[in-house]
Structure formats: C-alpha cells, structure tokens
Amino acid sequence: MASASIPASPSPWTTPHPSPPPTYSPPLSFPPPEDLVPTVTRLHDIYSSVDLPHQTSRWHALVARFKALYDRPMTFVARSPGRVNLIGEHIDYSWFPVLPMATVHDVLVAVCVLPQNDPVADDRIILSNVSSSKYPTRVFNTRDFQDPFFEISTTGTDVDWSAYFLAGLKGALMFSKLCAAETSPLPTMRILVDGDIPPCAGLSASSAFVCSSLLAVLAATTSSTIEKSFLVNSSVISERVLGVNSGGMDQAASVFGVRDHALLVDFRPLVSAKPVRVLDTVPPLCFVLANSLVVTANRAETGPDTYNVRVVETVLAAEILARKYNVGRLEIRDGFGGTLRGFYDRVCEQEGWTMGDRESEERAVREVVRRVQETFDRDQYSLDEVAEKLGQKTEDMVRKYMTRFPIRAKYLNLRDRSIHVIEESFRVKCFSSLLASSTVHLRTLSGSESRPYFDALGALMNASQASCANFFECSCPEVDELTQIARRYGAAGSRMTGTGWGGCTVSLVRADKVADVINGLKKEYYAVRYPGLSASQLEEAVFAIRPGNGTALAKIEDV
C-alpha cells in the first residue's frame, strides 16, 4: 500500500527529545492557579452565554431530582466534558502530540457527603443515574456499594455503567495513598449522575465519567487542591482497570479544556496542553459534528479485538524497528513497551537532524516511513513471525505484550499501523501550526483571501481520514459516507473522530457554509439511512460545535 501524501504547510514546532518517564510524586511547590482544577460558583464559569439557558434548566432539574431522591442538598458537582479530536487519531499511545478540544457536552457527578452524625450515615455509597430517560434502550440501575470496593469486578464483556464510577473510585484511593495525600476514610455519599454526551459515539463519554468520578471521590475525601496533570494521569491509570490501554488524549482534553480553543496535547516529558485559539478567522471557522449512529466500539468491551490490538501493533513495531536499526533501547511507556515516537526521535538523533522547519520534519517522516516499509514488506504477520522479528519465543512475546490487557488476534499489521502513526503525527504539527497562525495574521482576511487557509486545514483532515480508513482500518462505511457528503456540501475537510469503528465525524466548515453542510447531511444520510428520526433526534445527531471549558468542581449556591 502506497504511503499517503502529506499536504504542505507552514513550519511546525520542534519535536522534543526523549525525557524520563512521568512520576506521580507530590509537587515540591504549589503550582500556579491555571494548573489546578478550578472550583466554580457560577454556571457562567463553565458554559458560554449561548449554552447557558439550556444548561441552567438542566442543572435546575438535577438539583430537584437530587433533593427528591435523597432528601439532602448536593455538596458539590464534579463536572468533566467529552472531547472531539480534530486531528491526531490513535497516536497518543505512541506518545505523539494530538489536537483535540473539549465539548460543551459533559458528565455531571452530583455528590452529597453525609457527616458521621447524620441520621442516615451508614458508610454506603448509593449511585443513581438520571440518563435512563434520555437513553431508554440502555439500563442505568441504581447501585449500592460498601467496602471492600476492590472485590467488585469492573471487567467483562458486558460492563455495567457503574463500573466507570468504580474505576474512578479505585483510582482516587490508589493515588491518594501513593502520593501520601491527607485523606479521610470514605464517607457516606449519595451520588446522582447526569450525562449528556451520547454514549458509544466516540466522544469519550466513558473517560469523562471516570474523570468526574475520580474528582468527586478526591473532593469528598481530601481538602487539598488537585492539579490538572495529576487528575489526567490518575484517570488514565484508573480507566485501565476496565482493561483499556488508554493513551491519555481523552482525559487530557476533558481536564485541560479551554473555551474557544483546541488543545495541543503532548505527553513528553509530562502530559501538558497548549491552548490554540480556533475562532479568529473571517469568516469564522466552525466545526460540524455528525453522529453516524453506528455504535462505536466500547473499548472496555471490544478492546481485545480492536483498540488494544492497535496498541500492541504499534508497540511491537517500535520494538522491532529499534532492534533492526540499532538505535538503542527505547524508553518504555508505562512499563508496557517502546513507542514509535521513541524510535522516530532516535532516528533523528542518529542522523543528526535538527527539527523545526518543514523540510527537516518531512525528511524525517519520509525516512522513518522508508524504514518501516523496508522492515515490514507486507501487511499481515502471524504471531510466530512477529516474535521471530523481535528475537523472542512466541510464548514470551505473548506473555509480555498481549496479556496485561486482553487481546484477541492471530495476525498483526505492523507496517500500515506504523505508517499511519508517523504521518498522522506530522499532520498534527502542520494543522496546529496553521491554527496558531490564524491568531496572528488572518483576523482581517476577507472570505476569498482566507480560502487557501481553510483548504490547507481541510486537506490535512481529509488525508487523516484516508489514513484512518486505509492504514489504521478504524473507520467504517457509514463514517466514510458522512465525510464525503460533508465535503460535497461545502466542508473544507471532514474526518472520523474518536476511537472509530462507528461514532462521529467532525467537519471543518466556514461559518457561511454551516447550514448547507448540516442540511446536506440530513438529506443524504439521515433521511436515507434513518428516515424515522424525529426533528429533535436529528438536532442531536448533527450540529455545529464549539470548544468548551474543561473539568471543574462546582459549588453553586443558586443554580
């Protein structure tokens, strides 16, 4: 399979060299306020004026439901949003930067912490969910938990909704002990969850739930402030309780989100997020989200056949490439294996290349892709063949790489997965550089003058979609169709977003073309494939989106 083309773009940022792995020790000094999970007292601190009327009604309903259910007021609400990945799919677990944005849609975990002298204090956690009325085909039974929590299974082929809360609970307990935080024993808690992120749509509802659950337990058991990077790292590890080898993009986007900004999320040397404003062009650039209504892979349930296999393929490819080209032992990600970013950086060091200009970056990408194609001359290898290339016995390879997280695969595709990761990482650099340039010199451009800018961004998104479909094989026919329709009706670019195998697309659209794109999708996709959808269901399936704020702890007296 030929390598996908990489559109030209301005100079991207420099690729940093490998650094020591992250640690989870308590900070030696107090971080600046912007690095802490904020505590907010007004809904306006979370939502924009456009979204405030709807969200105010929603929070009023949550307060009333909580009081009716538990006869107690809420102590606080832990709130984490979903995310839309603009570009950089399936490269976070190879430690390459990605470019997501937080959404307005979120998961709210409302908590009442009962003092020991309360008449109903019983050391129990009662967990309820208001989402049953929104998603009548899904089951959200009330759960009642008591110690010992670690005897409760959160893995299996049919993961209960409460497992995501338990993952956050376990993570909060584990990391508070690890960091020697001043914590209290688990108090009696009454909890009500309200989520408006469509489940199994590739918008990271599960990660948002784990983030908000972990934050809720930490807030209930400690008075310490919580660093955003700590919450991200803790949430990543917590979600792995569910058997998901998460890379960290979803959690970082949810926690670090900034209104009207995308986030350039990097994972080396530690997780960080650089806000990049996205709304400064004339006409403004907008994003349209379209749900294929094909249920995307629930990573906790189908990961052994899809997501976890892709992680293993990229890790094994990196290890084999490092061995063949004698670049030295790669830095290990989370005790699991080397990364393609580690190999890429070592090649650049080996060749003496200084990154920072487009020509050098593209030369490095081409060279690494050449080495990938030289090493893997076909797309499918049996486990025995992969082990031979790795210089290990098959049983040793399986034990090391394919048992920590569940895997079901007889053949692995190391070539195409690696090509996607390397070229997608370059597209992220180009896209983020273009977005950053919009805040410098594109604010006063007329529509005709800004057309090449939109086209350049769109070409990168389209190349990403082609690579996801052909190299990483994580798209599906319905998603492919949505992207094609969106482009026909005026989108500069359109691609899948999220884990894949269903879920949503995100399209880059000029503000004056948004209505055309949405109407075109309704006419050619939803009216044909889902003719029975109501007007309200259509509004929930396809709509314009804006980047929203990230995780917050809300203590609002008067909603």
Cα 234 to Cα 262, 311, 359, distances in angstroms: 22, 20, 38
Contact (CB, 8 A) for 309 and 383: no
Distance CA 60, CA 68 (A): 12
Contact (CB, 8 A) for 94 and 266: no
Single-letter residue type at 215: L
Single-letter residue type at 405: F
Greatest Cα-to-Cα distance within the chain, rounded to the nearest angstrom: 71
In three-state secondary structure terms, 424 is: helix
Distance CA 227, CA 455 (A): 38
Structure tokens of 43? 């809904």
CA proximity to 307, closest of 208, 458, 206, 165: 206
Query: H or E element: which one contains 466?
Result: helix 447-470
Contact (CB, 8 A) for 38 and 553: yes
In three-state secondary structure terms, 551 is: coil
Distance CA 350, CA 353 (A): 8
Contact (CB, 8 A) for 241 and 171: yes
Distance CA 238, CA 211 (A): 9
| Beta bridge pairs of residue 447 | none
Q: Which residues contact 299 (CB under 8 A, 6 or more apart)?
A: 206, 242, 244, 246, 306, 307, 308, 499
User: What is the arrangement of strands in the sheet containing 125-129, beginning at the earlier edge strand?
Assistant: 39-40, 552-554, 76-87, 99-114, 188-195, 125-129, 143-145
Distance CA 388, CA 377 (A): 15
Distance CA 199, CA 371 (A): 40
Per annotation, catalytic residue among 250, 266, 345, 480: 250
Tokens 């999220």 found at: 498
**Residue 250 a catalytic site member:** yes
Contact (CB, 8 A) for 232 and 271: yes
φ and ψ of 330, to 5 deg: -80, 150
Q: Catalytic residue positions? A: 250
